[in-house]
Structure 1
């Protein structure tokens, strides 16, 4: 879990998240499709392996790496967390938020769910959301406004439980996944 990694690093926000965001903000503000364009798989794996062995070397390597490799590394780190950053426990609650028609009640529920996150998850989520907001301010160059950032990061930060959904056909499964992605995007967009 994120808490264990943070305890090992003695930080509240994982160092890799901070390093990646810093590099992306430094060099990615004019990169068309930032976060949408994938990095080179082999280079991303090399970065990941370096981070696993030496954070000092990783920091140097990140400064030289292609910015799309850095964005891919950040997304990979978040996807590989053993639990979604927004917590697996409340996933179904997030997916039902659009069923709450009263905006005041929905706001209360969103705030309540966020307050239930462990501190390290909440701080890391806030850090990432602030980073995405900063990056979206360069959307005239990157073509990545907040809405596009939410499409990419919604599923990454909220990833569904393993057995979510019981679709009966491939078409039903695709429709269900599409609906789920839309809901994940909506949740993240609310917080952004």
Structure 2
């Protein structure tokens, strides 16, 4: 089920992302866009951060695991956001395309990193939660798919679309580090649910690939 859903997701990348995710990640335009997005989201803080806070963003998955900041095999912040979006955001029109308020997103980030209890349901802001999830993925040092495997993922879908692709993809994802494999599986299962509500949220597999492709391949 996982490999089948992943196969469908990755099949859309070449047609929705031009020369492919690898080319996008290497292009100067993509680098500029990535830096601009970071500037938009990163709001200067007037107060010093609590030195006891644990950094969650921009930290490798292996380091998060070492610090015990995982839940069911995925980063705690990802788990919290996805569970909230699953309950309250699947039918939200423009999910992942409509950005949340910058200040609200930054406040959420601070709350997660401070270790405080984050009440997403009380906030009731689906767009902010979705934006924070994208920000977390965008700031992963190695991305969801490690850069060493980028060429092989892209080449797999340049070779043509045949029944053997899904089997080859299954073999390839087995080479992912455990932390990356668990995160990729969890996200693809979630995005499959999002796509099933595409009539309401306007986010079919093609649109999701457009949004998440650059976040998976950095």
Structure 1 Cα separation of the partners of residues 128 and 182 of structure 2: 24
For 2:121 and 2:181, locate their aligned partners in 1 and report how far apart those are by CA, in whole Å.
25
Q: 1:117 aligns with which of 176, 179, 182?
A: 176
**What CA deviation, in whole Å up to 9, does each residue of 1:14-35 have, x standing for no partner?**
1111100111111112211101
| Distance change in 2, residues 1:63/1:119 (3 Å) | farther
**Structure 1 length as normaliser, TM-score?**
0.75
Over the aligned positions, Cα root-mean-square deviation in angstroms equals 1.8
1:42 aligns with 2:70: no
Change (3 A) 1:148 1:102: closer
SS at match of 2:160: coil
Closer, same or farther: CA 67–107 of 1 in aligned 2, 3 Å? same
Q: Is the 8 A contact 2:100 2:129 kept in 1?
A: yes
Aligned residue number for residue 22 of structure 1: 83
* Structure 1: gaps of 5 or more residues: 160-192
**Number of matched pairs:** 157
Out of 80, 103, 106, the position equivalent to 2:162 is: 103
Tell me the equivalent position of 1:66.
Answer: 125
- 2:148 aligns with 89
Helix, strand or coil at the partner of 1:155: helix
The structure with the greater share of residues assigned to helix is 1
User: Which sections of structure 2, spanning at least 5 residues, go unmatched?
Assistant: 1-59
Answer yes or no: is the 8 Å Cα contact 1:47–1:62 preserved in 2.
no
Q: 1:28 to 1:118 in 2, by over 3 A?
A: same
